[in-house]
Amino acid sequence: MKKLYSLLFVIPTLLFAQHVSSAPQAGKVFKDWVTMCQTIPNTKQKHCHIAQTASDKKTNKAVLHTMVGNLVGQTTPVAIFIIPKLISPKTKLQLIFGKNFSITFKVQSCDKKSKSCHAGVPLDKRILAAFKKGKVSFFAYKQGKKSVKIPISLMGLSSGLAALPKR
């Protein structure tokens, strides 16, 4: 597990490597999710995942980037969260699925240059089922005394994941 997390944030753009021939079309929309693909430098491979960005309704600034896909050689999808501001690395994060199910995890890295923090969660069967059957989940954390709760639409997640090649 430790090895998985160390791989997650070395280079976030290389997480979901896929062969060019099996890569879905970049920009394809699955309700509230969109396919993102990029060519890995010096290779003929692309990495693809589905993603969505939540924005503050007042300022229209991004408050959370969520990416879901498979790591190379892994069959369990992973959710990667990028918080576009610096928070304490000790901050406990939560993914909330209704009143009966939530998971807690930690910030895994922060980058002062990009002013962002990253976290990732392997989507085991229980979490993946919650993602697939729900309509919305919430990404939550506390910043000082302030509670932050950001909705993540789950509409289109199942079809978006199904369009990604299985690793």
Tens of pLDDT, residue by residue over 96-135, are 998 889 999 999 999 999 999 999 999 999 999 998 888 9
Domain 2-163 has CATH 2.60.40.1880: yes
Sheet-wide strand order for 92-97: 101-106, 92-97, 136-143, 146-153
62 pLDDT higher than 70: yes
pLDDT at position 21 over 80: no
Task: For the chain, give every domain's residue range.
Answer: 2-163
pLDDT tens-place string over residues 8-19: 333 343 344 433
The pTM for the full model equals: 0.82
Helix, strand, coil percent values for the chain (each to nearest 5): 15, 45, 35
Report pLDDT for 51.
Answer: 97
Q: How far apart are alpha carbons 35 and 67 in whole angstroms? A: 9
pLDDT of residue 37 exceeding 60, the answer is yes
